[in-house]
Each structure stands twice: as structure tokens, then as C-alpha cells.
Structure 1
Amino acid sequence: MKIIISHPTLNANSKNLVIGLLKSKLLFKLFTTIAIFPGQLLFKLGSNPKLKDLKRRSLDKTWQPYTQSKSFFEFGRLLASKLHLEYFVKHEKGFFCVDKVYQNHDKWVANSLTQAKKEGLSGVYAYEDGALATFTKAKQLGLYCIYDLPIGYWKSARSLMQKEFDVNPEWSSTLTGFNDSSDKLNIKDQELALADVIFVASSFTKKTLAEYSGNLPEIKVIPYGFPEVKQKKEYQSLANRKLKVLFIGGLSQRKGLSYLFDAVEGIQNQVELTIVGHKAVANCDVLNLSLEKHKWIPSLSHDQVLACMREHDVFVFPSLFEGFGLVITEAMSQGVPVITTDRTAGPDIIKSGEDGWIVEAGSSVAIKEVFTKILETPEIIEQFGLAARQKAQTRPWSVYGQEMADALSSLKIL
């Protein structure tokens, strides 16, 4: 069995899937937009601080024989974003918008399948918003269609998030996911309809697919891995200082931000809150006022994120709708206990009350109750933090890659 992996931009989960398939000799080809290898000119240019984004696209030399790349639209998107040419990256409409990147990539992969099948291809593995043309062509050729849904189903998102428009209307401008056109949403449904199997990274994502009106194939839940556990966290007494609480993520109400701000209201003399992330929109007054009350850092590099996590006592991720939440596993790998909701991967990877806490989504009271418990028994910070770190050591990214390879090799592909 040989599989094509199609992912325009490559993230941690797709890269570790590729590693797993390479080890198991299941990878036919990787199709992506920008692929940079050691020794190439672009790799050398990535050493320039102004071009550091290129370094993120560099891949292991052993991948080179398997990698196909076509980078025009993605380079255009990166350049237009860098130069703040908003017209070119406008949602769904801009010539270099992320939707156009995915659509053009999808068509390119689809056009490559006929030849690939002649060379022994068995199936295609593609991701949401970039699978329709590929799956349509794959079906014509009798190839197996493997779909990856990285975040919950859109109808479920609409129904769950609609409440926020009524309960927290002043935050509604940050819910930018409601800007998707009916055409884009229809494409998501068509992709699901063509899938022979669906992979998701959390039980919550699987649950959201109950709102899909058609017939679905088998849904496999395989959580992502944890980052490598390297540095130890130094735990410090809470005596004579505030509890240091951290949030990292996009600054929108989908992340449950209002509930976090409400949870610390009235206990600022005991809790110090740091927020790291970009604003979803610039002109949300209630968000801007909330950020003024606390420490706000707009952006950090990945290494800085991990260091920042180690400097805090507890990480809070109160998301209202999340396919996984990689920041949860990152914080746990740094020995920081996490408070998160039942609408993330939290229930799949955290044992609530032992190595973290799972709270009801949309409840500032539930978050504040955990803060109170920590303030009353501060020794649980180290106890839970060490347990979280130990959990991270048992499930590195290599375990995810191997589990994915095992699951794919067990599929009944003709």
C-alpha cells in the first residue's frame, strides 16, 4: 500500500504523519507548496532574520525524493501578508488568499493522480478545504480517500457558537469563522461525502460530526503527540506572590476569552494573568479594555512560547470549539498543569483532578473554582505539573506517527 499525503502548508501533525509513513514504508509522495532542503539557495536565505519564515518550510533531507512542491500561490500569500497588501489576501476573494492556495494545490494534486496510480498509488490522504478535487479524481480512478478533519464540523461550530452572539454580543466581532461563504461550506460537506475514512485528533471533533446530515464512513480518533520533554520546570512557592496564569492563542471569543477574563475579575490581588496572541480583529472594544488590565504579548517565537510556559504556574485554555489545542500538550510537556474545557482534546489527554483540570465550556465560575482550589492548596501546582510532564513523556510525536501508520496499514484498501 502506498499513500499520497497532500498538505499545502505542513504543520506539526502532518509532518509527524509523514515521518510515521516513511518509517513504515507507506509514503508514495508528499505534495506541498513550499519545500526547502539543506543546501538549497532558499535554505541559505532563511538564515537572514527578515526571511526566517522560510526556515519553517525546511524539511529533512531524507524527504527530498518523496516531495513534490508547487509554491507560486503560497509564496504570493506570504509576500502579500508581509507587505500588508490586504486586498490580495482578502478572505476567499483575494488572488493569494489561503483559500486560493488550498484550491490550487488541490487541483494540482488531482491532476497528478492518473500517473501516480500507474506507479502503484493506493490512496490519498488530504485535509479539510483542500480535498475536493483530489477526492473527486481519486474516486474516478478507484483510489482510497482518507480525510483529515483538524477542527470540528462547521455546522456544530455554528450551533455551539451562536449562543455567544446572544450572551456576549460585544465579543461577536471576534468570531470571524462565521464569514465563510455557503460555497466554502458546501465544499466541506462534499469532501466529507467522498471520504472512505475520516481521521480526527479528539473525541470532541468526532462528536461534532453527528450534525452532518449525510452518511459518514468510519471515524478514527488518534490524538496528536506531545513535544519532546527537555527542560525541567522550577516550581516556586506561592508565598508572598500572585498565582501566575497564562493563556496563549488567537484572541477571539471562540477561545472562550471572555470567560477567562471574568474568572480573574475580583481576584487580581491573588492572580496575575498573561495573554499571548494576535487579535482576531483590531476594533473589539471589550477585548482591548480587557487586555489593558493584564499583561499582553502579541507574539512570541515557538521557543519563547515554551520558555514563557515554564515561567507560569498554570496554563488556561478555555476554548469553546477546538479540534485539538496543541498549546495544551506544549504546556504539559513543560511541566505546567492545564485548565481546559470539554470542547478540546483535553478529555482525551488529561485526567481531570490528577494532571490537569477539565471544566465546562463557557463557564467563568468553573475556571474560578479551579483557581480557588489552587490558591487554597498551592502544592498541587507541582504535583499536577510533574504528572502532566510524565504524561507528555509517554506520548511523544513519534507515537502519533506510528499509530497513524498502523491505522492506515490496517485499512481494507483494494
Structure 2
Amino acid sequence: MKLLFSHITNNTNAKSASLEIYKAGLLDEYYTTIAVFPNSYWDYLSKIKGLSEIGRRRFDPVLEPYVKTSPFSEICRQIATKAGISSLINQDSGIFHIDEVSRRLDQKVARNLVKAQKRNVGGVYSFEDFAVQSFRRAKTLGIKNFYDLPIGYWRESHRLLTIEQEKWPEWASTLTGFNDSEKKLKQKDEELQLADAIFVASSFTAKTLKSYPGQLAPIHIIPYGFPTVTKKKKNYTQPSKTRRLKLLFVGGLTQRKGIANLFAAVETLEKHVELTIVGYKASENCKPLNEGLAKHNWIPTLSNDKVLELMRESDVLIFPSLFEGFGLVITEAMSQGTPVITTDRTAGPDIMTHNKDGWLVEAGSTEALKEQIENLLIDSKILSETSKEAIYTAENWTWEDYGQRLTETINKSF
């Protein structure tokens, strides 16, 4: 049995999953929008100044015979976004909104299922918001539906983030997770209902699915892998009057990521810590966000290699997210020997051990976050040992390990 695989952008987890599915001999075709291969048209375009973002759609060359692209709608979406043509990309009626681009790609997969079945295709592997049409068609043909849910279930998201709206009303404009239409939310539920197997990357994501109003297929928790571990040795020096503890935050600047808690936690520690923040604003109209960014070192965007470099230069990554399917910045930091403070609503509990290779705090607790930072100021020598343990953890769960576990589970689910 083989699989049709689809993803609109080929992000890190889709890239790794598809490559391992190919290695296991399970891949029949991979449907996406834009695919960059060496010496291709898109490869040449990605080298032009101003078009380098295309390079993020780069695929492993071994997948070239399997990849089927539908670039037109995605190109129009990107152009409309850069040109600020909101009428083309607004959520309600924009013909190039990401939901419309996803719908067209999903429709293409659905149309090709009958032919694919004749080639011994017995499954469709797709992701949240990309799958409803192909899953419906697959059900009528007796083809298995494999569903990847990269972030927690929307009903639980609404419940937990409503609490944040009430707790931090001045940050409400950054909580954009309530913008999905009723139609889209129903589609999310239908995708889950049609799935024959559900894959999540953290125990927290699996826990959020308890809010689903019905029976679900088996849920498989397979944490994402760690990036390649750095070969550069990390040397820690003791914080002093002239050297503050270097804290780093990387992520969207929204209260879903706990940024308000972070600002509050370091407010009285500013003489002892140096906070650098990397990420886009979720809203231009959030006064406390703008005030907080003005106090600290804010970098709106960095390339991935520059983020990794900054992680190596920092003492600790702080990722106080309140609702996270995984949190790839956690594994990225640990792979660079930078320990992480994160919460129990990320993949932290699945991939790290508290007080050994990182630290776990209660989500939404400013006091717990502040206390953990203070502990490091009191005994910063622990950072060096924790850094070594973080590297060891990263070495022992790679993206290849993730892919092998995934393909083993898929094979058992056929």
C-alpha cells in the first residue's frame, strides 16, 4: 500500500514526514503548491534579491519524481500579501486567501484518488485545514485517511484563550485564534471525524482532543525530531554587575505565546537580565506589546541560520506558550546547547526532563516563570551542565527517528 501526501507549504514537519514516507517505500505522490529543486525554474528565482523566500519551499531532490505542484493560486496569494491587496486575501471573500489556496489543492488530491487507487494507493496523508475534500472522497473509495494535527484542538484553544482575554484584556488584539469562521471550524471537526488515524506531536495536543464532541480514531503521539546538533562548544560565564543573564524569546508576539507573562516576569529583573525578542507583531494596536518591545532588544525577523546563531549566543531560551502543538524553537535551542524554560502546554514534557536538560513551568503563571529565572540568577553554574544535557537529549531523537516511528505506525494502521 502507498500514500498520497499533501501539504500547502512543505514546512519542517511535512518535509521530514514525506521524506521518511518515501524512504519506507510508501510515497506515491506529494501534492503541494510550489516546490524548489536544484537547477529548477524556482531555484533560479529564489536566488534573486527579494525572492529568497521561495527557497523555503525547497525539497530533497529524491522527491522530485513524486511531487505534483499547483503554483498559480499560491503565487497570487504571495503577491497580494506583499502588495497589500487585502481584497484578494481577506478571510471572508478573498479568492487567494490561504483557505482558498488550500481548498484548491485539496480538491486536486480528491480528483486524483480514483486513478491513484489503481496504482495501489491505500491512504491519504494530510494536515489540518487541507484535507476535508480528499478525506470525503477517500472514504467513499475505502482509502485510509491519515490526519496530522500540528496544533491543539480549536474548542480547547477557545476555552483556554478566552481565559487569557479576561486576564489580559489589553492584549486581546494579539489573540487572533478566534477569527475562524463557523464554516472553517465545522470543517476542522469533519476532518477529525473522517480520520482513520490521528498524528500529534505532543501529549498536550492529544489532551486537547478530549474536548471533541464525539468518538475519534486512534491518536498517536510522535514528537518531532531535533535538528542537527551544533559542533560549536558553548561556554558559560557567570553573570555579574557588568554581564547580565542573556534571555531569548523566539516566536509570534501574541499572548498565545505568553509574551505578556514574559514581560511581567522580567520587569523587576531588568538590572540582571538582557532580553532579546525575535518575532513579528500579531497586532499593531497593542499598547503593552509596543511598550514592552521598546524596553528590550526586538528583532522583527531573522533567517533560520541567524536564529540558531543567536540561540548559541544566549544563555536561555524562554518559551512560555499557553497553547502550542509542539514548539520547534525548543528543539532548535536545545540542539544549539541552549537550555529552555517552557510550559506544560508545549512539547516540553515530552522531550525534556525538568531540572535536567531544561525547565518546565506552569502555563500562564508569571510567578513560576519569574521564580525560575531568579533561580538561574542565584545559581547560574547549573546552566553549563543543563546545556550539556540538552545536547545529549537532542542527539538521541532526530528527525529520522521521528520519521521511522511515523512510518511504522502508518504501516500498522493499514
Normalised to the residue count of structure 2, the TM-score between the two structures is: 0.98
CA contact (8 A) 1:92 1:100 kept: no
Read off the aligned partner of 1:304 and give its amino acid letter: K
Alpha-carbon separation, structure 1, partners of 2:160 and 2:42: 44
CA positional deviation for 1:41? 2.0
Superposition deviation, residue 93 in structure 1: 2.8
Q: What is the SS of the residue equivalent to 1:3?
A: strand
Amino acid at match of 1:371: I
Q: Percent identity?
A: 49
Q: CA deviation at 1:44?
A: 1.4
Aligned equivalents of 2:93, 2:263: Cα separation in 1 = 35
Q: Displacement, 1:58?
A: 2.3
- Contact 2:230-2:337 within 8 A present in 1 as well: no
Cα distance in 2 for partners of 1:275, 1:127 equals 30
CA contact (8 A) 1:260 1:367 kept: yes
| Contact 2:146–2:195, Cα closer than 8 Å, also in 1 | yes
Distance 1:314 1:358 in 2: 13
Q: Report the CA distance between 1:13 and its aligned residue.
A: 0.6
- Cα RMSD over matched residues? 1.0
Structure 2: distance between partners of 1:408 and 1:252 = 35
* Partner deviation per Cα, 1:300-326 (whole Å, 9 max, x = no partner): 000010011111100000000000000
Contact 2:124 2:144 in 1 (8 A): yes
Q: Aligned partners of 1:270, 1:58: CA distance in 2, in Å?
A: 42
Q: Residues 208-244 of structure 1: CA distance to partner in whole angstroms, max 9, x if unpaired?
A: 0000001101000000001101232232232341111
Q: 1:255 aligns with which of 243, 254, 257?
A: 257
What stretches of structure 1 of length at least 5 have no aligned partner? none
Alignment partner, residue 111 of structure 1:
111
Structure 2 distance, partners of 1:97, 1:370, is: 42
Cα pair 1:92 1:98 within 8 Å, conserved: no
Instruction: State yes or no: 1:391 paired with 2:393.
Output: yes
* Match runs of 1:351-390 below 5 Å: 351-390=353-392
Q: Specify the SS of the correspondent of 1:315.
A: strand
Alignment of 1:126-137 (within 5 A): 126-137=126-137
1:239-254 map, 5 Å: 239=240, 240-254=242-256
Give 1:293 shift: 1.0
Residues 30, 87 of structure 1: alpha-carbon distance in 2 compared, 3 angstrom cutoff:
same
TM-fit CA distance, 1:92: 4.4
Deviations 1:10-47 (A, max 9, x none): 11111111111111111111111111221222211211
Structure 1 segments, 4+ long, off by >4 Å, are none
Structure 1 window deviating more from structure 2 (182-191 vs 75-84): it is 75-84
Please show how residues 255-274 of structure 1 align to structure 2 within 5 Å.
255-274=257-276
In 2, are the aligned partners of 1:46 and 1:55 still within 8 Å (CA)?
Answer: yes
Give the aligned length: 412
Displacement, 1:71?
A: 1.0
Match of 2:31 in 1: 31
2: CA distance, partners of 1:92 / 1:327: 32
User: Within 1, Cα distance between the matches of 2:238 and 2:273?
Assistant: 14
Structure 1 letter corresponding to 2:175: L
Provide the secondary structure at the position in 1 that maps to 2:59.
coil
8 Å contact from structure 1 (residues 227, 329) kept in 2: yes
Q: How does 1:331-346 map to 2 (within 5 A)?
A: 331-346=333-348
Spell out the pairing of 1:294-373 with structure 2 (5 A cutoff): 294-373=296-375
Match of 1:199, SS state, is strand
Question: Following superposition of structure 1 onto structure 2, how do residues 164-203 of structure 1 map, counting pairs within 5 Å?
Answer: 164-203=164-203
Q: Secondary structure at the match of 1:29?
A: strand
Residue in 1 that maps onto 2:282: 280
Q: Which moved more, 1:324-333 or 1:401-410?
A: 401-410
Please state whether the residue corresponding to 1:122 is helix, strand or coil. strand
Give the superposition deviation at 1:61: 2.1
CA distance in 2, matches of 1:94, 1:228: 40
Counterpart of 2:262, as a letter, is L
Structure 2 CA distance for aligned equivalents of residues 351 and 5 of structure 1: 34
Contact 1:122 1:143 in 2 (8 A): yes
Match in the other structure for 2:215:
215
Deviations 1:372-414 (A, max 9, x none): 1101111111111111111111111111111111111111x2x
| Partner SS for 1:205 | helix
The corresponding residue for 1:229 is: 229
Whole-angstrom distance in 1 between the partners of 2:166 and 2:41: 53
Residue in 2 aligned with 1:69? 69
Deviations 1:131-172 (CA, angstroms, capped at 9, x unpaired): 100000000111001111000000000111111111100000
Q: How does 1:43-62 map to 2 (within 5 A)?
A: 43-62=43-62
SS at match of 2:112: helix
SS, match of residue 410 in structure 1: helix
| Counterparts of 1:104 and 1:236, CA distance in 2 | 54
- In the alignment, the residues of structure 2 paired with residue 278 and residue 302 of structure 1 have an alpha-carbon distance, to the nearest angstrom, of 14
- Give the TM-score normalised by the residue count of structure 1: 0.98
Q: What residue in structure 1 maps to residue 152 of structure 2?
A: 152
Displacement of 1:260 in angstroms is: 0.5
Q: Distance in 2 between matches of 1:236 and 1:161?
A: 39
